[in-house]
Structure 1
Amino acid sequence: MRETVLTPETIANPKAHYGDAKASTRHFITQRVTGLVNVVFLGLLLFIVVRLAGQDRADMVSVIGNGFVGVPLALLIAIAAIHMRNGMRDTLEDYLHGRVYNLAMLLNTLFCLIVGLAGAGAVLKIVFWG
């Protein structure tokens, strides 16, 4: 496979092919779909925040422990972590290159994975084990 030299002229040429078109399209669609899901679930999140304002732990456990509230909340946390990873990927692609970029992407993926699993796991623990 021939490597294309990226110059302003190459980038401006609509017939020039560089990058991975399938991965870029998948990234674009994933970012838009997760953003839409986040907007849809925003109502649930606002309900939970308003419902739990000023309440103690027992009330929080009873609200989040309801499967109709807790499972979508865990799903929202997981989807928000995916959206966060993709958003940071855009920034990292713009400012970092080479080995630093690869390390930053690895750390970004690990951080988002840890946040998503910890958050969703905590909510699901409340739902299924109280």
Structure 2
Amino acid sequence: MDKSVISNPKSHYGSGKLATRHFITQRLTGALGIAFTIFFIWLVVRLAGADRAEMLAVIGNPFVAIVTALLVINVCVHMRIGMQEVIEDYIDDPRLHSLTMLLNNFFCLAIAVIGVLAIAKIALWG
């Protein structure tokens, strides 16, 4: 970016409210990620050495299934915002910027939907 644009105090870089929302959301999903990591470690240790039937029984527990689905959603939201920041920082071409933002949103949504549907399948139908 041109140095004269950066040094001009009247330059506009986007919505301050949107940036604040992304900042807060990124921090909240990061903090929730710590709690979800503790749960995930418990889940992996619990399922270590378990056979398929026991694994299906544990994942089929409504509490475990819901928390695991929330973990997937949390990670996808955190990933979407993080990648959005990278795209905004490094992609300057407006057409390429729009395309990469669209692909980022689609990819994160697809991962979240596939993950939640996989958990639902295991929890509901084994």
Query: Normalization by structure 2: what TM-score?
Result: 0.88
Change (3 A) 1:77 1:95: same
Contact 1:34 1:82 in 2 (8 A): yes
Give per-residue Cα distances to partners, 1:16-49, cap 9 Å, x unaligned.
Answer: 5431111111111111111111111111100111
Shift of 1:51: 1.2
Give structure 1 stretches of 5+ with no counterpart.
none
- What residue is the counterpart of 1:40 in the other structure? 35
Number of positions where the alignment pairs a residue of Structure 1 with one of Structure 2:
123
**Structure 2 contact 5–11 (Cα < 8 Å) conserved:** no
Give distance in 2, aligned partners of 1:78 and 1:102: 23
Kept after mapping to 2: 8 A contact 1:71/1:127 = no
Q: Give, in angstroms, the shift of residue 128 of structure 1.
A: 2.4
Q: Which amino acid aligns with 2:122?
A: I
Match of 1:74 among 55, 69, 84: 69
Q: Secondary structure at the match of 1:47?
A: helix
Deviation at 1:55, TM superposition (A): 2.2
Mapped to 2, the partners of 1:6 and 1:22 lie a distance apart of 25
Partner Cα distance (2:24, 2:118) in 1: 28
Moved over 2 A (4+): 15-18
Contact 1:81 1:112 in 2 (8 A): yes
CA RMSD for the aligned pairs? Answer: 1.8
Q: 1:8 aligns with which of 6, 9, 19?
A: 6
**Partner secondary structure for residue 13 of structure 2:** coil
* Paired amino acid for 1:48: L
What is the letter of the counterpart of residue 19 of structure 2? S
Residue 115 of structure 2 is aligned to residue 119 of structure 1: yes
Q: Percent of aligned pairs with the same residue?
A: 47
Counterparts of residues 89-128 of structure 1 (less than 5 Å) = 89-97=84-92, 98-128=94-124
Give the TM-score of the pair, scaled to structure 1.
Answer: 0.86
Whether contact under 8 Å (2:33, 2:75) holds in the other structure is: yes
Specify the code of the residue in structure 1 equivalent to 2:125: W
Query: What is the identity, as a one-letter code, of the residue corresponding to 1:117?
Result: V
Cα deviation, 1:90-113, whole Å, max 9, x if unaligned, reads 111111021111101111111110
The residue type equivalent to 1:35 in the other structure is G
